[in-house]
Structure 1
Amino acid sequence: MRITVFRKMMAEEFGEIRADMLARDHVFSALDNRTVDQALEAGVPTKEIWRAVCEAFEVPPERR
């Protein structure tokens, strides 16, 4: 999944402002205690990041 697609999915799920805040500020244990932005910078695949976000925020399976 491309980063642009990932960012679009985040915005669709959480709204643009909240998605940006989550990516910048929320630390995910499933991402080795990194934020989304830090995980992206570290080269973690976007699919793995999206799964971590979905699990943490209980995104329904049909929107994963």
Structure 2
Amino acid sequence: MRLTEFWERMDRHLGSAYARTWAETQVVRELGGRTVTEALAEGESAKAVWRAVWAHLQLPPSER
């Protein structure tokens, strides 16, 4: 997954105005207690981060 696709999915599910703020402030257990922004900055793949977000937000299987 490309980073652009990751952010498109984030925008679709959280809204374009809120997605970046959520990514910077919400600690996600599935990312080892990091935020999305921290995980991406530390080299986690966009696909792995999306899977963690998907689980955290309890999105439907079709969105995985």
Common fold: TM-score over 0.5: yes
TM-score scaled by length of structure 1: 0.91
Q: Which runs of 5+ in 2 are unaligned?
A: none
Say whether 1:32 aligns with 2:32: yes
Say whether residues 1:55 and 2:55 are aligned partners: yes
Give aligned pairs, total.
Answer: 64
Report deviation, 1:19.
1.0
Residue 8 of structure 1, CA deviation? 0.7
**Identity rate of aligned residues, in percent?**
38
- Give 1:25 shift: 0.4
TM-score normalised by length of structure 2 = 0.91
1:27 shift after superposition: 0.5
What is the alpha-carbon root mean square deviation over aligned residues?
Answer: 0.9
C-alpha distance in 2 between matches for 1:52 and 1:26: 12
Shift of 1:21: 1.6
Which structure shows the bigger proportion of residues in strand conformation? 2
